[in-house]
């Protein structure tokens, strides 16, 4: 029972997920890799990338229709912009 609980706990926090390069991945890969992203939002990510070029910051990712702070924050460690390292959060300007 402890092993099952541990597995579920690790899975819930995305420990088992691999980061995804959102500038290269297809919609299916993005939908599987990121929390709160289904097929429609994954397609919106691909469309945004085609229209605006590669994502460079988390703010770019948040500009996709249907993606806001909550989804972006939940996925910040799983988003790659290159094949190198996970994305760093973009600093917000004070209002």
Residue 7 has pLDDT above 80, yes or no: no
Residue 44 has pLDDT above 50, yes or no: yes
Could you tell me the sign of the dihedral formed by the alpha carbons of 59, 88, 85, 42, in that order?
negative
Q: Measuring CA to CA, how many Å separate 57 from each of 11, 73, 85?
A: 26, 12, 13
Task: Calculate mean pLDDT across residues 44-65.
Answer: 97
Confidence of residue 14 (pLDDT cuts 50, 70, 90): very low
In words, the CATH class of domain 17-80 is mainly alpha
pLDDT for 22: 96
pLDDT for 83: 78
Task: Calculate mean pLDDT across residues 82-86.
Answer: 69
Contacts of residue 73, defined as CB under 8 A and 6 or more positions apart, other chains included, come to 89
Domain-wise residue ranges, the chain = 17-80
């Amino acid at each position: 029972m402890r092993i099952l609980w541990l597995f579920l706990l690790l899975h819930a926090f995305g420990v088992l997920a691999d980061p995804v390069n959102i500038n290269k991945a297809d919609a299916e890969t993005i939908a599987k890799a990121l929390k709160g992203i289904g097929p429609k939002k994954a397609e919106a990510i691909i469309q945004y990338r085609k229209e605006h070029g590669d994502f460079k910051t988390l703010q770019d990712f948040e500009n996709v229709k249907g993606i806001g702070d909550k989804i972006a924050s939940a996925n910040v460690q799983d988003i790659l912009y290159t094949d190198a390292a996970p994305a760093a959060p973009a600093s917000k300007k004070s209002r």
